[in-house]
């Protein structure tokens, strides 16, 4: 049996990792983050929020159930690279249509297996998110170190422009009911279905499917849509969804949100949470190594209930910046105390930093989207 080709990852601090190359061949340069989820590798890899990022999976074995067309969060992978301790090449699951390495090779995404992901994760946790260079064709450490250090910081890139849609279009696909909990919705009459316009900064398909399954009519608009263009669709509510990169890069989206405050009910998820916070005057900051995974505990301050959430972001709203603003904190992260939710004190504007539809992950926060749809319906 021939030996598998090797690949090398070098971080900007000089940390070096060598593994077996199971994906595409070539060179890649980007930000390296770690994801602590135990399941849902396909959803993570296809999440547009991962654009520009090489993802380290802390789960020691991924790829076991292969890849299928139903679990993807977008039409293609958006993670720049997949880094793991062990990637299964021969999946065993009746839903599998392709192995993970085959899927990644078909889409030009590199994958390194056999890495010391414990050391890699601890390095990122202790030193913070870093830039990295990965190659399967040139395993010269000094060359890759120079490439890692010269790679632009992800905050300098307009990644949302790479993942947003080009023009408005409807979305009608619901959740695949066999793989999701029953939702408290009977098929409503067309007139009773609230029209939700989703500003697409890189929206996950599961968010759109959940909205439809909860009884909404959904229209997607580009991230740079103006307030007038959004209102032209006559929405009952507007949702600003997730997306990759630094929220400051979506200044047009923030301006749209600011112009819509008080004119139509608004809700934000992940980057949308940051967009709405900044539209109302809040500031944000970059977390040391971000929140990536489906096991993050969050407290609902209204009820005291702790919910386990799915998260994928590198930025957070600065709580001190809320002083004097008409905003109050609704959810708090129990790992580090960061702001996980906001609500306007006077207007129908709210947001959460985590993913309430939780794909992949637990469905503890699903009630939040149910409440949002109900509130849009009542307006």
| DSSP letter string, 344-360 | ESSSSEEEESSBTT-SS
Nearest to 210 by CA among 340, 343, 365: 365
Both structure tokens of 291: 């929140």
- Local structure of 208: helix, strand or coil: helix
Assess whether 357 carries a catalytic annotation: yes
What per-residue confidence (pLDDT) applies to 4? 85
- Residue 67 within a domain: yes
The residue out of 151, 183, 206 marking a domain boundary is 151
- Residue 102 within a domain: yes
Residues 6+ apart with CB under 8 A from 109: 23, 24, 45, 77, 79, 80, 81, 82
Nearest to 172 by CA among 209, 132, 227: 209
Assess whether 90 carries a catalytic annotation: no
- Residue 249 within a domain: yes
| Together in a domain, 106 and 202 | no
Residues 6+ apart with CB under 8 A from 297: 306, 307, 308, 309, 333, 334, 335
- Residue 135 within a domain: yes
What per-residue confidence (pLDDT) applies to 177? 57
- Local structure of 147: helix, strand or coil: helix
- Local structure of 124: helix, strand or coil: helix
Structure-token match 């509130």, residue found: 375
CA distance 340 to 273: 9
The residue out of 132, 151, 170 marking a domain boundary is 151
| Together in a domain, 167 and 194 | yes
| Together in a domain, 249 and 348 | yes
Tell me the CATH number at 124: 3.50.30.20
321's torsion region: left (phi>0), alpha (psi -120 to 50) or beta?
Answer: alpha
What per-residue confidence (pLDDT) applies to 178? 47
The boundaries of the domain holding residue 268 are 160-378
| Together in a domain, 117 and 209 | no
| Together in a domain, 39 and 58 | yes
Using a cut of 0.85, tell me whether the model's pTM lies above it: yes
| Together in a domain, 126 and 180 | no
CA distance 280 to 324: 11
Both structure tokens of 267: 């809700």
CA distance 74 to 46: 6
| Together in a domain, 135 and 198 | no
What per-residue confidence (pLDDT) applies to 330? 98
The residue out of 151, 184, 208 marking a domain boundary is 151
| Together in a domain, 131 and 227 | no
| Together in a domain, 21 and 120 | yes
CA distance 214 to 239: 14
| Together in a domain, 269 and 369 | yes
Catalytic residue selected from 51, 88, 270, 280: 270
| Together in a domain, 198 and 123 | no
- Residue 352 within a domain: yes
Assess whether 201 carries a catalytic annotation: no
CA distance 213 to 357: 11
- Residue 167 within a domain: yes
Torsion of Cα atoms, 208 then 211 then 213 then 214, to 10°: 170
Tell me the CATH number at 248: 3.40.50.880
Domain count, the chain: 2
- Residue 1 within a domain: no
Assess contact for 364 and 352: CB atoms under 8 A.
no
Nearest to 341 by CA among 13, 332, 349: 332
Both structure tokens of 232: 């032209």
Nearest to 104 by CA among 170, 213, 20: 20
| Together in a domain, 268 and 285 | yes
What per-residue confidence (pLDDT) applies to 150? 97
CA distance 319 to 325: 11
**Cα separation values, 308 from 205, 287, 363, Å:** 21, 20, 8
Query: What pLDDT tens digit does each residue of the chain (379 aa) get?
Result: 568 899 999 999 999 999 999 999 999 999 999 999 999 999 999 999 999 999 999 999 999 999 999 999 999 999 999 999 999 999 999 999 999 999 999 999 999 999 999 999 999 999 999 999 999 999 999 999 999 999 999 999 999 999 999 999 999 999 875 445 555 445 566 667 999 999 999 999 999 999 999 999 999 999 999 999 999 999 999 999 999 999 999 999 999 999 999 999 999 999 999 999 999 999 999 999 999 999 999 999 999 999 999 999 999 999 999 999 999 999 999 999 999 999 999 999 999 999 999 888 889 999 999 999 999 987 6
Assess contact for 248 and 186: CB atoms under 8 A.
no
- Residue 28 within a domain: yes
């Amino acid at each position: 049996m021939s030996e598998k080709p090797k690949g090398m990852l070098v971080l900007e601090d000089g940390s070096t990792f060598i593994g077996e190359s199971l994906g595409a061949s070539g060179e890649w340069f980007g930000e390296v983050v770690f994801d602590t989820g135990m399941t849902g590798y396909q959803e993570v890899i296809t999440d547009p929020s991962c654009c520009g990022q090489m993802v380290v999976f802390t789960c020691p074995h991924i790829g076991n159930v292969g890849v299928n067309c139903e679990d993807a969060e977008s039409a293609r992978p958006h993670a720049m690279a997949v880094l793991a301790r062990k990637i299964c090449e021969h999946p065993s699951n009746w839903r599998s249509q392709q192995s993970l390495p085959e899927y990644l090779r078909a889409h030009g995404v590199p994958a390194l297996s056999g890495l010391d992901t414990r050391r890699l994760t601890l390095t990122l946790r202790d030193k913070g998110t870093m830039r990295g260079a990965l190659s399967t064709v040139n395993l010269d450490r000094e060359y890759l170190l120079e490439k890692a250090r010269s790679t632009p910081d992800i905050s300098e890139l307009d990644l949302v422009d790479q993942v947003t849609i080009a023009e408005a279009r409807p979305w009608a696909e619901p959740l695949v009911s066999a793989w999701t909990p029953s939702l408290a919705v009977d098929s409503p009459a067309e007139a009773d279905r609230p029209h939700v316009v989703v500003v697409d900064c890189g929206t996950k398909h599961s968010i759109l499917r959940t909205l439809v399954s909860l009884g909404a009519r959904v229209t997607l608009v580009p991230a740079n849509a103006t307030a007038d263009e959004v209102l032209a669709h006559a929405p009952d509510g507007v949702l600003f969804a997730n997306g990759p990169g630094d929220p400051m890069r979506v200044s047009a989206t923030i301006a749209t949100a600011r112009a819509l405050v008080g004119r139509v009910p608004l809700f934000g998820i992940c980057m949308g949470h940051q967009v709405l916070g900044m539209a109302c005057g809040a500031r944000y900051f970059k977390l040391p190594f971000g929140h990536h995974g489906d096991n993050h505990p969050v407290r609902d301050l209204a009820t005291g209930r702790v919910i386990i959430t799915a998260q994928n972001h590198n930025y957070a709203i600065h709580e001190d910046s809320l002083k004097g603003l008409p905003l109050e904190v609704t959810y708090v992260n129990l790992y580090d105390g960061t702001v996980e939710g906001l609500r306007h004190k006077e207007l129908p504007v709210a947001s959460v930093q985590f993913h309430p539809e939780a794909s992949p992950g637990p469905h503890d926060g699903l009630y939040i989207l149910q409440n949002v749809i109900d509130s849009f319906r009542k307006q």
